[in-house]
Amino acid sequence: MKRPTLLFAVLMISLASCSTQQKLQHVRQAGLKASLAVSPLPDRSPYAIDTTSQGSDTLVVKNAEGKDIFIMKAIRDEATGEMVATDVINAAVVSATFRNVAERDGHIVIDFRITVPAVMTDSRWQMRLQPVALLPGERIPLDEVVVTGESFRREQLRGYRQYERYLGSLIHDPEQFVRQGQLALFEERYGNEDNGLTPYDMREHYTDKARRKRNDRRVANRDKVFARYVKMPLNEAGERIDTLFNGASEFFTYDYSQEILSRPGLRKLHVVVSGGIYDGDRQCYAIPEGDSIAFYVSTLGTLVDSEEHYLTRIVSRRVETGASCRVVFPGGSSELKRDLEGNGAELDSIQETVTRLLAEEDFVMDSIVCTAAASPEGSWSLNERLSRTRGARVNEYLRDVLTGQTDSIRFISRSCAEDWPRLAQLVAEDSTLTPRDKRLFAKRLEIPDPDRREAALQREPFYRYLRSELYPKLRTVRFDFHLHRRGMLQDTLLTSVVDSNYMAGVQAIRDGAYQLAAERLGRYRDYNTAVAFCSLGKNHSAKAILEQLEPTPKVEYMLAIIDSRLGHERAAIQHYVLACEKNPAYLHRGNLDPEISSLIRKYSFIINQTKLFQL
């Protein structure tokens, strides 16, 4: 009885294999591929419905003139051309290749339908479909769709069962390698004698080392054994779908939805799908990439008010600017030498600064104040005279090199005998001085008399470092340039300037940097602030701002979006009707925003004509 049964089984397998090969040949010859279309839109709003509405299919709102408008599900009567209420929802086959999608809080949800002919599936095959989102200069692989045949899955699981049996045969308890009987006999005979053996030595002596070594090799070879048994591993990371297709339909269809991160300036993306058919661990057919579908991205950033925002500024007639340089003088001298250390470059830099300021068309230079500072060594009175004469020498130098350009400019010399505040700052920032050195310096800094203060520092061990490394940085020359605005007679003037912080916040909304936009625009509490908050999902905060503003069309439209999100359907329709009456452009815009388009799909007559029905 067994032999006919075995022959029958072999015959059935052979027939099945023949059928599979014929199917594969047909798939290859026809070059079959997966097709994409946008998924059917839901008939109901994804947001909660306001239970205070007058019935689920009829609302009453008021237009700008205060008249009642009855909103209901409606279709056009072909005989009369009139809109009539209906509860009939007609099934439709969606084959559109583009859709408007909305970016919200930096994310985009794309929905599409994948369809493949049933002939591309087989009990012995696994079909893997890889959708890819195409952005400008970027390909983003989406979650894989896997359709597995029953025989294929059985083979997958058989390999896993073999591997599990292998794992079950591994030994993890070291005690199992010990010859327990021999160890017990040894302990019984010699347990009380001092033989110099530790318990570990005894157990190791009676351990089957060859058997343990073989087990260790088998443990180390787990990955190789897995690869040998499991030719077709399951995707442990998870697929979008891994299902058994029973072949009951002519097509396999999967409605796909995935959220992806948006990009600044993204206005359009495409989706394509390709993949492969696998027989065991071998790809027997590469599914070619089919036609793409397009998604046009709308953002709340396109609703921003781009009008420039201005600030009132007080403009002073007088303007001051400054520059510093380090001019080196010989010790105890005020003689200015260009060839001493880096003096030439420093003096040239100041000359270029003065020349640039003199060339300014909007300003006239009145005076140049030169303040020279000396380091603390020597007496205060000497350093005061020295710094004053050094400032005068630098001013004389500038006057000479700029002869003919500065005749109307006053040159003023001032002195800073010893710049102790600057020295304290340098000590605090220094990384060589120890904390103790800095504490001693601070203590000496409390001495009121500068000469006694300097004498006390000279007794400290770190004084030599101060004099060689920090004191030279105090011998600076500071220039202050005093100018006035050309042609301006008043001391002050009020003027308007573009608010750069506000405009940066507006640009941040366009770029999708909504948190930055909210931070920059938060204190203004105007329409664009509400757009930033709404983009972040802070709907109540955005609504509180909008309700305080003049009800312009853009304000009404934003309120319609927010009320739709909050589930206030009647209020959302009311705001949308008013926005469309004041600006018909919002009739088209409503199809781009899911909060509004879901209402339009429910009350479809809104977009069937530019004038709303009034009953």
pLDDT level of residue 608 (50, 70, 90 thresholds): very low
**Strand, coil or helix: 326:** coil
Mean pLDDT (the chain) is 80
Answer whether residue 33 shows pLDDT above 70: yes
**Strand, coil or helix: 481:** strand
Q: What are phi and psi of 280, to 5 degrees?
A: 70, -135
- Alpha-carbon gap, residue 97 to 189, rounded angstroms: 88
Of residues 92 and 398, the one with the higher pLDDT is 398
Centroid of chain to Cα 281: 39
Residues 38-66 have pLDDT tens digits of 877 654 333 333 434 444 444 555 555 55
**Strand, coil or helix: 215:** helix
Answer whether residue 613 shows pLDDT above 70: no
- Alpha-carbon gap, residue 142 to 269, rounded angstroms: 13
Residues 91-144 have pLDDT tens digits of 334 456 888 888 887 888 899 999 999 889 888 898 999 999 999 999 999 988
**Strand, coil or helix: 593:** coil
Of residues 101 and 444, the one with the higher pLDDT is 444
Residues 331-389 have pLDDT tens digits of 778 888 888 878 888 888 888 888 888 888 888 888 888 888 888 988 999 888 888 88
All domains of the chain, ordered by start, with CATH?
26-43+89-149+245-299 (2.60.40.10), 169-229 (no CATH), 311-493 (3.30.1330.60), 500-607 (1.25.40)
Beta strand 68-72 pairing with 58-62: antiparallel
Nearest to 377 by CA among 466, 287, 491: 466
Mean pLDDT of 551-580: 93
pLDDT of residue 46: 39
Global pTM value: 0.53
Q: Residues with Cβ < 8 Å from 228, sequence gap 6 or more?
A: none
What are the C-alpha distances in Å from 363 to residues 349, 398, 486, 495? 20, 20, 5, 17
What are the C-alpha distances in Å from 50 to residues 54, 62, 74, 448, 603? 10, 17, 20, 77, 15
Answer whether residue 88 shows pLDDT above 50: no
Q: Which DSSP letter does residue 288 get?
A: P
pLDDT of residue 248: 53
Q: What is the DSSP string of 110-136?
A: EEEEEEEEGGG--TTEEEEEEEEEEET
pLDDT of residue 13: 46
- Alpha-carbon gap, residue 448 to 471, rounded angstroms: 20
Are 35 and 293 within 8 A, CB to CB?
no
**Strand, coil or helix: 56:** coil
Residues 413-432 have pLDDT tens digits of 888 888 899 899 999 999 99
Tokens of 276: 């492969």
pLDDT of residue 488: 74
- Alpha-carbon gap, residue 451 to 424, rounded angstroms: 16
Q: What percent of the chain has pLDDT over 70?
A: 80
Are 303 and 458 within 8 A, CB to CB?
no
Of residues 36 and 312, the one with the higher pLDDT is 36
Q: Residues with Cβ < 8 Å from 56, sequence gap 6 or more?
A: 49
Are 514 and 532 within 8 A, CB to CB?
yes
Which class for 374: exposed (0-12), middle (13-18), buried (19 or more C-beta within 10 A)?
buried
Are 608 and 81 within 8 A, CB to CB?
no
Residues 234-288 have pLDDT tens digits of 765 545 555 555 555 678 888 888 899 888 878 899 999 999 999 988 999 999 9
Q: What percent of the chain has pLDDT over 90?
A: 32
pLDDT of residue 443: 93
